[in-house]
Amino acid sequence: MLKRIRLVHAYDMLAEAGSRTTVTKVCAKCGFGNLGHFARDYRSEFGELPSDTLLRAKMHHRALSRESNR
């Protein structure tokens, strides 16, 4: 149960990521000591790698920035 809570917290952090956010930083902040195990558990829980979530969030952030500059 605790692992799931930490995974959901990691998902939220990655989904709302800023430009300096990395999977490694989120992994550490959420208390996961092994990046490979974190990625495996994250994929099992959410159906995608943490890097995929982060990339989508950063692309969304860039798109919003472009829209606001118009």
Q: Per-residue b/e over 26-60, b at no fewer than 16 CB within 10 Å?
A: bbeebebeeeeebbebbeeebeeebeebbeebeee
Collapse the DSSP code of 32 into the 3-class scheme (helix H, G, I; strand E, B; otherwise coil) and give the result.
coil
Question: Tokens 């118009």 map to which residue?
Answer: 70
Pick left, alpha or beta for residue 20 (phi over 0 → left; psi -120 to 50 → alpha; otherwise beta).
alpha
Whole-model pTM: value is: 0.87
pLDDT at 18: 82
Tens-place pLDDT, residues 5-57: 999 999 999 999 888 999 999 999 999 999 999 999 999 999 999 999 999 99
Q: Which has more confidence, 70 or 63?
A: 63
Evaluate if residue 70 carries a pLDDT over 70: no
